[in-house]
Amino acid sequence: MSALWMRQIGAVMRLELKRTAFSKRGWWIYCLAAAPVLISLMHWLMARRLSRNHTVGEDSVVFAAMFVWFFMRGSLFFGTMGLFSNLFRGEMLEKTLHYYFLTPIRRELLVAGKYAAGLAVSLALFIPSVALSFLLLGRHFGPAWTDYLTHGPGLSQLGSYVLVTTLACVGYGAVFLVCGQLTRNPMIAAAVVWVWEGLNPFLPSLLKKVSVVFYLRSLCPVEVPVPPPFSILAVETDPSPFWVAVPGLLTVALILLIYAAVSARQGEISYGE
């Protein structure tokens, strides 16, 4: 990739960061990122005042459940949807996308710059969110929690959660970038993806692998079972190994970005849609 292409990607990224990261309309995404931290903070403060009747290990399971069912399926999913689906569709609604198309820049580089900006914002929001949530959740144990982090599996688990968060931003970001680029209403496409990802535990083993959440859950350090009564409908499937899950997610994201780049190169603007 030439130096000119890199400068053009950087220029698009800087413009998109100003439009995306500092947009007043994105306040709800910041609230989604802050929600898990507030839940962990409330748990810490309440546990300090009430008598503790649980262990550090039990708190790690609580965090694993919150990470899978609230963070990944809620905060991060809808946060990345709001960030990435708006990169193209937002400019279509504001009727400003043609300004980019009139500049002497390859549309593939435009897609790369927009995606890089969305990825930078999502990582800056959700990685600190998951790290602070994990560190605060067991803080009421005092020295026992510090020992769990430094001499136990705590830091290793935190590293795994950060990795899963990063890959989720990469994968869902590519999915929602394509949704916002190709669909008139990204919310409908996001709803379809959300339902499909939610049905993953109940799908046959082959269909489970046609989703992002299957590979993300395979990388989680603590297994979270499906709660009853839905557990009787769940289909047991061996988790994907690390050497398959990580390259697989990155490959899927790359394929989606290539598709988005080809679509941008062949696409035409029609504000009247």
CA gap 10, 110 in Å, rounded: 10
Assess whether the previous peptide bond of 229 is cis (omega < 30° from 0).
yes
Phi, psi angle pair for 167, to nearest 5°? -65, -35
The predicted pLDDT at position 50 comes to: 65
CA-nearest of 114, 124, 89 to 12 is 114
The predicted pLDDT at position 231 comes to: 65
pLDDT in tens, 3-30: 888 888 888 888 888 877 666 777 888 9
Per-residue confidence band for 51, with pLDDT thresholds at 50, 70 and 90: low
What separation in angstroms does the CA of 113 have from each of 89, 122, 184?
A: 15, 14, 22
pLDDT in tens, 117-132: 999 999 999 999 999 9
> What single DSSP character describes residue 222?
S
Q: What is the mean pLDDT of the chain?
A: 85
Q: How far apart are the first and last CA of the chain?
A: 35
H helix or E strand, kind and range, residue 113: helix 107-137
Q: Domain ranges in the chain?
A: 28-266
Buried b (16+ CB within 10 A) or exposed e, 259-272: bbbeebeeeeeeee
What separation in angstroms does the CA of 133 have from each of 10, 59, 77, 153?
A: 32, 12, 17, 16
Question: Is-contact 110 264, C-beta < 8 A?
Answer: yes
The predicted pLDDT at position 123 comes to: 95
Q: Could you count the other beta carbons within 10 Å of the beta carbon of residue 233?
A: 10
The predicted pLDDT at position 52 comes to: 60
Q: Could you count the other beta carbons within 10 Å of the beta carbon of residue 227?
A: 10
Three-state SS letters, 186-215: HHHHHHHHHHHHHCHHHCCHHHHCCCHHHH
What separation in angstroms does the CA of 26 have from each of 67, 86, 143, 223?
A: 22, 10, 39, 33
Of the listed ranges 15-29, 78-92, 132-146, the least confidently predicted one is 15-29
Report the predicted TM-score, pTM, of the whole model to 2 decimal places: 0.91
Per-residue confidence band for 38, with pLDDT thresholds at 50, 70 and 90: very high
Per-residue confidence band for 238, with pLDDT thresholds at 50, 70 and 90: confident
> How does DSSP assign 15-52, residue by residue?
HHHHHHHT-GGGHHHHHHHHHHHHHHHHHHHHHHHSPP
CA gap 253, 176 in Å, rounded: 11
The predicted pLDDT at position 201 comes to: 82
pLDDT in tens, 150-202: 888 989 999 999 999 999 999 999 999 998 888 878 888 888 889 988 888 88
**Does residue 273 have a pLDDT over 60?**
no
> Higher confidence at residue 203 or residue 78?
78
Q: Is the dihedral of CA 93, 197, 134, 154 positive or negative?
A: negative
**Does residue 272 have a pLDDT over 60?**
no
**Does residue 271 have a pLDDT over 60?**
no
CA gap 100, 107 in Å, rounded: 9
